[in-house]
Amino acid sequence: MNSGRPETMENLPALYTIFQGEVAMVTDYGAFIKIPGCRKQGLVHRTHMSSCRVDKPSEIVDVGDKVWVKLIGREMKNDRIKVSLSMKVVNQGTGKDLDPNNVII
């Protein structure tokens, strides 16, 4: 599905932005979340899903779930954009930032 042009970060939310996304895929190491307004997905690693230890991400989220996430990292790697997200620093009920000074990250 590559359109022939390199990916850009223009359509991505700014660093430390909080938004609600939909779980697109769950793996052994985390969950991929659809980023609203762009075709990109970001990864919530299992270490960023909860303040408790998560062994199986599938016990926390399912495909199609809506979750609150904070964009905690974005980088270009081999002409691809890698987006890192965190669920544990956002209240999943209200979307409130639990780490407004970005200390935990």
Are 48 and 86 within 8 A, CB to CB?
A: yes
Report the pLDDT value the prediction gives residue 71, as an integer from 0 to 100. 97
How far apart are the C-alpha atoms of 102 and 56, rounded to whole Å? 26
Cβ-based burial of 95 (10 A; exposed 0-12, middle 13-18, buried ≥19): middle
Report the pLDDT value the prediction gives residue 7, as an integer from 0 to 100. 63
Q: How far is CA 104 from the centre of its chain?
A: 16
Q: How far is CA 71 from the centre of its chain?
A: 6
Report the pLDDT value the prediction gives residue 3, as an integer from 0 to 100. 47
How far apart are the C-alpha atoms of 61 and 50, rounded to whole Å? 11
How far apart are the C-alpha atoms of 86 and 68, rounded to whole Å? 9
The model's pLDDT over 13-27, given as tens digits with 9 standing for 90+, comes to 899 999 999 999 999
Report the pLDDT value the prediction gives residue 105, as an integer from 0 to 100. 67
Query: pTM (2 decimals)?
Result: 0.90
What are the strands, taking DSSP E only, across 16-97? 18-26, 30-34, 41-45, 66-77, 80-86
Q: What is the pLDDT along the chain (105 residues), one digit of tens a residue?
A: 444 455 677 778 899 999 999 999 999 999 999 999 888 999 999 999 999 999 999 999 999 999 999 999 999 888 888 999 999 999 999 999 999 999 876
